[in-house]
Amino acid sequence: MILHIARVIFILLEVLILFNLLIVVHELGHFLAARWRGLYIEKFGVWFGKPIWKKTINGVQYSLGSLPFGGFVALPQLAPMDIIEGKADLDRAKLPKISALDKIIVAVAGPVFSLLLALFFAGIVWAVGHPVSEGDSTTVIGYVMPGSPAEKAGLRAGDIILTVDSYKVNRFQGIGDSVVWRVVSSEGDKIPITVLRENKELRVEVEPIKEATRSWERKSLRQIQVAPFKTAIVARVETNSPAAIAGLQPNDIILQVNGKPLLNPMGLSEFIEDHGTEPFTVKILRKNKTLEVRLQPEMPLYPPKFPAEEKRPLIGVLWEQSGKMTVDHPGPIEQVTASVDSMIKTFGALFSPKSDVKLQHLSGPVGIMRIYYKLFESEHGWRMALWFSVIFNVNLALINLLPIPVLDGGHIMLALIEAVRRKPVSAKMLQFVQTACAVLIIGYMLYVTFYDSQDLPWKSSEKIEIKFPPKTDVAPPK
């Protein structure tokens, strides 16, 4: 228990360090550009909230806040940001005027630094590799849920998906050229899907469904209820279980069930659900040798609170979550380009009037930190987190370049208007627009955080232990 708590704390520290690094580097770009162009810098702060440390050096107040989320640089010669950074401690009117070019350079510097950090991380990922799951490298269907839209349309496990909604697909998961994304972002009542089956191309039309959700939950997105091919690798064998009796071991790969290929562990779960405690034979791969093992599922000792309708026979095996993992070494430019393409596709779906993708499906700081936590929890921790940091930095740069006041793109837009008009926008109008946009952005952040918070493990749910009765005839490992 103590080790588990220590691990959770360590992961949280990793998340905070990396998340804050990305934000502070962005703000550092503004800071260094402002120093270069001779702007007055009032404050440079790491973290927000009441300062736990602050010191003025060469006229700049440096501080460390009490809320460990990001940072800021206060540049009163730019558009006012009082609602976010606090009211300036001096009269802006008394500061020397700066050119529109200086404003643009300072505003652009933040996104530029984010892109440079993305390229830096992409260089590391190129060197150490990016772990890729089978779902990110195949379009083979591994499992079709019974009664699903895919089954009704005639799709089967083993089919190779070639196109979805008339778009070519190269992987199952992710944003862009993936099966899941093309289903989610489709807009017709039916989705045309082309598959390769026994060297013949077949075209079917699938009518997607959306799962029912409660009014306060994120709305479900379109799905056809299929899963990718995933190697059934044994991660753990429960004590006294049928799998233990049969001699199954961690790292065993189950290839076949009663002579039929197993393309996803969910296929074995469905087989057991259909056949109950009937014995069956599996072919396994162990250290380059194939073996046949006979298994007979049994009803474990479920705890009293376990729902009766969910009780079913088991063999007592836990699977590797991602199946087989490979390591890819994409080049830095390739990674950044892919991140830009993913963001363009996301915004395209977001602004399409027929799309189911809405603002509530995006993630704010809480959701992003949760993603980092999940990545650090995985076996490949830092490598996965660095890969995601490339995506996050590109997103941070591009979002900040949107021509919305408060964001960097808003400062650029105002500076361009000033250059055309040959005079700045009036201070009163500027303050009104900045405040209005800041309120909208803060409101959106609270809105998306409401949904992000639902994905956090608020309730300390009781750990359900499913055990098998003791046995004396457990086979020795082979």
Claim to verify: residue 156 and residue 224 sit in the same structural domain: yes
Claim to verify: residue 100 and residue 146 sit in the same structural domain: no
What angle do the packed helices 381-400 and 332-351 form, to 10 degrees?
60
Per-residue pLDDT of the chain (478 residues; tens, 9 = 90+): 677 688 778 888 888 889 899 999 999 999 999 999 999 999 999 988 889 999 999 989 999 999 888 889 988 888 666 555 556 566 666 788 899 999 999 999 999 999 999 999 999 999 999 999 898 999 999 999 999 999 999 999 999 999 999 999 999 999 989 999 999 999 999 999 999 999 999 999 999 999 888 888 899 999 999 999 999 999 999 999 999 999 999 999 999 999 999 999 999 999 999 999 999 999 999 999 999 999 999 999 998 888 888 899 999 999 998 889 899 999 999 999 999 999 999 999 998 988 899 999 999 888 998 999 888 888 888 999 999 999 999 999 999 999 987 889 998 998 999 899 888 877 778 878 888 888 898 899 999 999 999 888 764 445 667 889 887 655 544 4
pLDDT of residue 289: 95
Number of domains in the chain: 3
Claim to verify: residue 262 and residue 222 sit in the same structural domain: no
Domain assignment present for residue 363? The answer is no
Claim to verify: residue 179 and residue 154 sit in the same structural domain: yes
271 close to 257: Cβ distance less than 8 angstroms: yes
pLDDT of residue 91: 64
For the purposes of burial, counting CB atoms within 10 Å of the CB of 3, is it exposed (0-12), middle (13-18) or buried (19 or more)?
exposed
Coil, helix or strand at residue 177:
coil
Claim to verify: residue 9 and residue 102 sit in the same structural domain: yes
Claim to verify: residue 36 and residue 96 sit in the same structural domain: yes
DSSP codes, 424-440: PPPHHHHHHHHHHHHHH
Alpha helices by DSSP H, 278-364: 332-351
467 close to 301: Cβ distance less than 8 angstroms: yes
| Separation of alpha carbons 352 and 357, rounded Å | 8
Claim to verify: residue 273 and residue 287 sit in the same structural domain: yes
Rg (CA), the chain: 27
DSSP codes, 184-229: HT--SSSEEEEEEETTEEEEEEE--B-----TTSPPPPPB--EEE-
Claim to verify: residue 82 and residue 140 sit in the same structural domain: no
| Separation of alpha carbons 475 and 180, rounded Å | 42
pTM: 0.85
Last residue of a domain, one of 303, 319, 335: 319
Claim to verify: residue 6 and residue 86 sit in the same structural domain: yes
Claim to verify: residue 121 and residue 147 sit in the same structural domain: no
Domain assignment present for residue 30? The answer is yes
**Of 352, 343, 452, nearest in space to 397 by CA:** 343
Domain assignment present for residue 303? The answer is yes
CA 95 centroid distance within chain? 44
Write out the E strands in 245-363: 253-257, 260-261, 280-286, 289-295, 317-319, 326-328
∠ at Cα 460 (457, 463), nearest 5°? 110
∠ at Cα 218 (190, 405), nearest 5°? 105
CATH number at residue 180: 2.30.42.10
Domain assignment present for residue 298? The answer is yes
Last residue of a domain, one of 166, 194, 228: 228
Domain assignment present for residue 179? The answer is yes
Bridge partners, residue 295, by sequence: 280
130 close to 136: Cβ distance less than 8 angstroms: no
pLDDT of residue 310: 86
What angle do the packed helices 100-128 and 381-400 form, to 10 degrees?
160
Domain assignment present for residue 297? The answer is yes
Quick one: CA dihedral 191, 196, 198, 202, positive or negative?
A: positive
Claim to verify: residue 306 and residue 290 sit in the same structural domain: yes
φ and ψ at 405, to 5 degrees?
Answer: -50, 145
Q: What is the 3-state secondary structure (H, E, C) of 267-280?
A: HHHHHHHHHCCCCE
| Separation of alpha carbons 184 and 178, rounded Å | 10
Domain assignment present for residue 361? The answer is no
pLDDT of residue 461: 47
Domain assignment present for residue 422? The answer is yes
Claim to verify: residue 124 and residue 7 sit in the same structural domain: yes
Last residue of a domain, one of 228, 249, 284: 228
pLDDT of residue 81: 62
pLDDT of residue 425: 79
Domain interval for residue 178: 134-228
